[in-house]
Amino acid sequence: MSRRDALARMLRLRTRKQRRRGGILMYHCISEEIYDPWAICVSPNAFDDQMAVLAQARAAVDLANFAGSDAYTRTGSQLAVTFDDGYVDNLVAALPVLERYEIPATIFVIGNAVGRTREFWWDGLQRAVPSGEPLPDRLDFPFGKGRRTFTLNERPGDSATNARWRADSGEITTSRQALFRALWDAIVVLEPTEQDDAIDHVLAWGGRTATTPTARVALDAEQFAQLSDHPLITLGSHTLDHVSLTDLPAERQRTQISAGHRKIEELSGRPITRFSYPYGRFDDTARAAVRELGIDVACTSVPMPAIGSDDPCALPRVQATEMDGDQFTRWLREDYGLIRGQLLQ
């Protein structure tokens, strides 16, 4: 992000913190990871702490409140919990915590991921590159726009630096970080089957096993049904294959959105009225396709509190990361102006 863009974002955030507002929290995995470049994993203990804060503040509301004006207050006192992708740990690790505090949540599920027996490509890349295990110093990568060659030049201390690095905001300072980001940018725009082939290639290059960690897989059909039937859970759609919509022509965007929506409706046996844009990427074509399906609420990954003038089909969300309850409270209040009026024990 350029300095100009950062300043513009800061000004928009400052303005929003003075408006009637609410917060939509974004989660992915409830699990512990040492190397987590996108910070998509929150440990079960931290998640429990965070949900305890929402319960004590009486702040948790269903995402449906953000379809109208009900969620917006002067103190940012209402927050909705959402999960992207449909990991099995949403059922195994997150749901018991949500039940304990009686907090509703929306889970956006990738249509073709239900019953998927291998990890998502971004998890495979995370397992292959940033980890501290040794890697060869040269990678030939024949996927995407022509064959490319990447080299590694490792230094003492890189492993610890990589464990702290955030791919979305951190400066690239090691060769593994540069490799991870270059591969991620190359793979995200590939066709779904080619994405898996590319990850198999990278895993084999690094001498990593192709066996998927059981904690980092998608829901199977039975687990999906358990969540679908649970009174605290509402399912939404997340396209058919978790594609980068803005890198597709208009017709393929519409197909991915409508087919994914139809798949989740068929699996759940009920209407689906919520949607999340994969990678937070959307444009006018994607937004129009979502509206055509009669979606009430669609979420982006723009890190802002939501305000009443926002388009319900392009609502911002703030990504919760590994934080204890006190850190979580300060983050909500200081960074986003949320739950400012609540007294916490």
The pLDDT of residue 158 is 87
**Beta carbons of 310 and 22 less than 8 angstroms apart:** no
pLDDT in tens, 76-93: 999 999 999 999 999 999
Q: Are 121 and 278 in contact (CB under 8 A)?
A: no
CA nearest neighbour of 82 among 109, 49, 56: 109
What is the reported pLDDT for 170? Answer: 85
Q: Do 307 and 19 touch, CB atoms closer than 8 A? A: yes
Distances (CA, A) of 1 to 4, 8, 301: 8, 11, 15
What digits encode the pLDDT tens for the residues 130-174? 887 889 999 999 998 888 999 999 998 888 999 899 998 889 999
Q: Which residue is associated with the tokens 């979606």? A: 295
List, as own/partner pairs, every contact residues 157-165 make where C-beta atoms lie below 8 angstroms and the sequence separation is at least 24, other chains included: 159/132, 162/35, 162/130, 162/132, 163/34, 163/35, 163/130, 163/132, 165/37, 165/130
3-state secondary structure (DSSP) of residue 64: helix
pLDDT digit string, tens, across residues 37-85: 999 999 999 999 999 999 999 999 999 999 998 899 999 999 999 999 9
